[in-house]
Chain A
Amino acid sequence: MAGKYVHQSILRLEDPELITARVQFLDDIKLPDMLHAAFKRSDYAHARIKSIDVSEARKLPGVIGVYTAEDFGDYVKPGPLQVPPPTAIKGATYVARTTMPIAKDKVRYAGEPVAIVIAESRYIAEDACDLIYVDYEPLEAVVDLEKALQPGSPLVHEDLPSNEAGHVRQERGSWEQAVKEADLVIKRKFFINRNAGAALENRGIIVQWDKHAKQMTIWCGTQSVIALRNQTAARLGLFESQVRVITPNMGGGFGPKINTSLPDDALITYLAMKLERPIKWVEDRRENFLATTSERDQVHYCEIAVKRDGTIVGLKDFFYHNSGAYNPYMMTVPLNSQSHTVTNYRVPNFLTEFYMVFTNQMIVTPVRGAGRQYGVFVMERMLDAAARELGMSPVEIRRKNLLPANAYPYYTNIIGQDFVEGVLDSGDYPSAFEKTLELIEYDRFVNEVQPKLRAQGKKVGIGVACFSEGTGVGPYEGARVTVGGNGKVVASTGYTSQGQAHYTTFAQIVADQLGVDVKDVKIITGDTGYFGWGAGTFASRGITVAGTATYMAAQKVRQKALKLASKILEAPEEELELADGVVRVADIPSKFIALGDLANLANPMRGTMEPGTEPGLEAVAYYGPPYGATGAGCMAIILEVDPETMQVSMEKMAMVHDCGTPVNPMVVDGQIHGGIQMGIGDAFYEELIYDENGQLLTASFMDYLFPQATDMPKKLVLGHMETPSPLNPLGIKGVGEAGAIPVPSAFAQAVENALQDTGVEFDRDTLSPSRIFTYVQMAKGA
């Protein structure tokens, strides 16, 4: 659905200010009288706290207070669930052990706070941390997912009978039947590692308590202002209206900032109120690695049942999912893995089952992709394994099994993160697949280029993988659109922005509805003082859910404007149009009224108003989809491996994506580029490594390798498809996570293809050159 602005690649309206640094980030905010916080964090992953001596620290000049669990009394209790458990799934079991604001009696992950210092400066606060002495009794750490569930394992939560945090089993068709019908059942085991969100800007919070107005203001780089406001109010016994949460400009989110009851959220709000002085805490990178949530390791045991011609009759996937020390985010990540496993293909029989496991590691909550890429990884790897055993090409086996273009709506029978059965609303997977092969010139590469280069001794390979992305899930978002007396428009939503171009794309939607210049639309996101309803920024749902709510609110304002203008211009509504900032009679352009004048007339100061009329050119709307809109696509990679050093050079990457109507195609490209870069990190660089004692070995960018601009492929081509979603008026699907999803799958296949002569097969992600070397040695039988 194209308009003057919607579907156009206009430049991002927020960029001039960002580039010239005329914006405020959290750490730029300095309030009078402001204090600073620092945390004393546990050196152990699992230990009993015997005693904490803070007496020296309290004596340090400039220290205002040093607090341990004891000092907070009853305030120290498990935090709220960020996501409720999925009661809709039959037979699902779960155990909730939510985040503690500060460790009491026992620490459960290295980096868990045991004390908080408030001081006149961050320097002094950190000096004081050095003077806090904690006497620990170290306990054996729970780090291995599978051993953690064996009897006799040490327990992360000793009040529980085991480390099991949850269990879900879902089946469509019958796996048993599939095995009977199959010619061949192939088994594999996969390991998936843990990654950080690693936003450019770390987390941070500033809290101010106005003791006269009894009002709290929180500036926080959060992905959910509403949840932070509500949970803070609940903890402190305040009305929601007494707490205002504002997000300044943010340097990225990528998932972890959706958490709103981490220790800092809970403690700093409390202390700012108690001390009646503003407090700032800005996380440093080490703290971010240690104590901000990250994402998933999983171990999968998978079986695929196939016919000799490559037809899939069934898939069984059984996996363990690491929840970390607490599970405030319930089952979102493993449910996403589960509901994104077989999506792109016809798999009549599908059995999927997982156990969530408590370990002495950081809490797992979604990071871009949010578990989806692991369902995809497992499926794509299984297809590659099957192709290998059946002597087919990776292309053939996929082509044979892709869900046809006429299959929609397709009921999956699998309940996902929004607790309703997943329904594929629309799509055309075969076309995306064929288009990708064209863009990468698959046949030419395999038939001409590769043989020639191989003859020269070069190890070049190609890989292709399909993916889907469930996006735009409920519950709902809302927006208020208001025309000002100045003729400009402001739209506010509870949705928060971390750099995704909402200030542009939402403005495009509004400008089209109200006939104003897009530059005259101001978007306000993430400030509960402007808009106090919504859920938060997750699941690629911004433009789909909040964007649709904004569209609906703008439409309501449009109706109001037409109705009032019709009276004033004495012309029927059908003859009016909104354009160039005025409402005019379409056939008599000289007969018009400026939108700003109309806004003033809609808010009379004297006289009377017609009963039933609401004042102002303003409206609020809410939108909640019955289920999410599913984006999808396909990716191919050509790469070269140095046969001696195993260094990988990514020569060309092609991706075709379908997110329905792109409100701004350039922004969609940007989202995909960024996603791909994260996917490359996942495939090749990024890995949070814990040792057997639960110590994080990768707590800085020296050790945790983050993809740089120089790590992008030499050539990157994108192709777009537009299958509009029937779920919302603009036909939009989300795209925020798409790029990150298929890379590990396509990458593993391409490296295998490059090293085909060695017979190497990969059963994990993060294929570093050293790891590739080890796999090749193993394949050679060395």
Chain B
Amino acid sequence: MKPAPFEYYAPTSVEEALATLQNLGYDGKVLAGGQSLIPAMNFRMARPAALVDLNKIKELFYIKPTDDGGLAIGTMTRDSVVEKDPLVAERFPIVPYVVKHIAHPQIRNRGTFGGAIAHADPAAQIPALSVALQARFLVRKQGGERWVNAEEFFMGPFMTVLEPEEMLAEVALPPMAKGSGASYQQVSRQKGGYAQAAVISVVVVDENKRCKDARVVLFSVGETPILSQAARKILMGNLPTPEAIAEVAEKISKEEVDPGTDIHGTAEYRRHLVKVLVRRGLTEAFERAK
């Protein structure tokens, strides 16, 4: 289980990294925490001709408050740093709770917030979280940059809008709205294991407890994180009664997700889980909404 031969670059600045990526084109691959890329290389499922290691670029490791009350997170910020950061906990209490469910401490100590997004594993937490929180991504390349909304970033399993010469540089989280509440529900076979089905719910209520917004994002049950349309359609402007929530859960599990059968569970079971988890998640999110 040794990787095929590859070239290795370790730039110390973003500019240098972008120039190297530009030069390498399709041959280059960014190395972040390496917790997904290195195993894939060891299995020889990934055979990049060259690695551009971002670990020596200090300017990519940060968590900064933004004036609007949100956060800016540098792509190389380790999962464990996000998990323990007091500012993150204060502004986005759902984030550390979700991040804790990623793998094991050893992996979170290496794995990066941006790496998980760029990797776009359909079973990964952070891509779904970024969709639920309406994150925006700063994408840079030599001599240019662009902002991409999380909702438009994920194209398919392990596929994003990133071009080979581009790099994800920053994740910007807009502030949580007043009256919002969030919940995370997942079922996995083991602690630290990938979810068989999971849902992140972020809801907003008005003074009368009526639903102003409901972002219900499912993952591990389709090719990308799935932002439910049904949840919004059924709940917006209404009281989140148990009946309404049950209706959402039923509709999502029947119409919006597409889990497959794998060695750990049948499609039927995972569809059933979606129904249960959406119901539990929305109930909890509305309870928390203030």
Instruction: List residues of A whose CB falls within 8 A of some B CB.
Output: 122-123, 126-127, 130, 284-286, 644-647, 685, 687, 689, 697-698, 700, 702-703, 705, 707-708, 710-711, 768-770, 773-774, 777
Contacts and interface: CB of A to CB of B under 8 A. Distances in A.
Interface in B180-224: 187, 189-194, 196
11 contacts: A126-B44, A127-B5, A130-B44, A286-B43, A645-B277, A647-B187, A687-B263, A707-B190, A708-B192, A769-B265, A774-B266
B276 A645 contact: yes
B264 interface: yes
Given A123-B2, A644-B276, 4 more contacts: A126-B1, A770-B264, A770-B266, A773-B268
Contacts of B189: 685, 705, 768-769
Contacts of A774: 266, 268-269
B272 interface: yes
B4 interface: yes
A705 B2 CA distance: 23
A781 to B, nearest CB: 15
A685 B190 contact: yes
B187 A773 contact: no
A126 B42 CA distance: 11
Contacts of B273: 645
Contact of B193 (A645, A647, A705): A705
Nearest to A770: B265
A710 B187 contact: no
Contact of A710 (B1, B3, B191, B268): B191
B187 A645 contact: yes
Nearest to B279: A644
B40 to A, nearest CB: 11
Contacts, number: 66
A35 B268 CA distance: 51
Given A768-B265, A770-B266, A773-B272, A122 B187 contact: no
Interface string B213-250: 00000000000000000000000000000000000000
A123 B1 CA distance: 8
B190 A710 contact: yes
Given A647-B187, A685-B190, A710-B191, A130 B265 contact: no
Contacts of B4: 127, 130
Interface string B1-38: 11111000000000000000000000000000000000
Contact of A698 (B43, B263, B270): B263
B191 A708 contact: yes
Contacts of A126: 1-2, 44
Point out which of A122, A126, A286, A711 has the most chain B C-beta atoms below 10 A from its C-beta.
A126
Contacts of A689: 263
Interface in B94-131: none
Interface SS of B by simple majority: loop
A123 B276 CA distance: 48
A770 B3 CA distance: 35
B111 to A, nearest CB: 15
A673 B283 CA distance: 40
Contact of B191 (A284, A286, A700, A711): A711
A86 B2 CA distance: 43
Nearest to B277: A645
Given A130-B44, A698-B263, A770-B266, A122 B2 contact: yes
Nearest to B273: A645
Contacts of A768: 189, 264-265
B2 A770 contact: no
B2 A703 contact: no
B190 A773 contact: no
A334 B273 CA distance: 39
B272 to A, nearest CB: 7
Contacts of B43: 286, 700
A69 B221 CA distance: 46
Contacts of A711: 190-191
Point out which of A644, A689, A698 has the most chain B C-beta atoms below 10 A from its C-beta.
A644
Interface in B248-264: 263-264
A708 B268 CA distance: 27
B190 A705 contact: yes
A311 to B, nearest CB: 41
Query: 9 nearest interchain CB pairs?
Result: A770-B265, A284-B1, A770-B269, A710-B191, A644-B276, A123-B2, A773-B269, A126-B2, A645-B187
B82 to A, nearest CB: 22
Given A130-B4, A286-B1, A689-B263, A708 B190 contact: yes
A119 B209 CA distance: 70
B24 to A, nearest CB: 21
A285 B265 contact: no
Nearest to A697: B263
B261 to A, nearest CB: 9
A685 B189 CA distance: 8
Nearest to A283: B1
Nearest to A284: B1
Contacts of A702: 194
A230 to B, nearest CB: 32
A191 to B, nearest CB: 16
A246 B193 CA distance: 38
A209 to B, nearest CB: 26
A707 B196 CA distance: 17
Contacts of B5: 123, 127
B240 to A, nearest CB: 20
Interface in B146-166: none
A646 B265 CA distance: 12
A689 B44 CA distance: 22
A322 B270 CA distance: 31
A774 B268 CA distance: 9
A689 B277 CA distance: 28
Nearest to A706: B190
A471 B81 CA distance: 51
Given A647-B187, A697-B263, A708-B191, A285 B272 contact: no
Contacts of A698: 263
B53 to A, nearest CB: 19
Contacts of A130: 4, 44
Contacts of B194: 702
Nearest to B5: A127
Contacts of B263: 687, 689, 697-698, 703
A114 to B, nearest CB: 17
B197 to A, nearest CB: 9
A67 B77 CA distance: 48
A122 B42 CA distance: 12
A126 B270 CA distance: 39
Contacts of B266: 770, 773-774
A777 B44 CA distance: 41
A687 B43 CA distance: 21
A285 B1 contact: yes
A732 B150 CA distance: 65
B282 to A, nearest CB: 15
Interface string B33-66: 0000000000110000000000000000000000
B3 to A, nearest CB: 8
A764 B195 CA distance: 25
A770 B192 CA distance: 18
Contacts of B1: 126, 284-286
B21 to A, nearest CB: 26
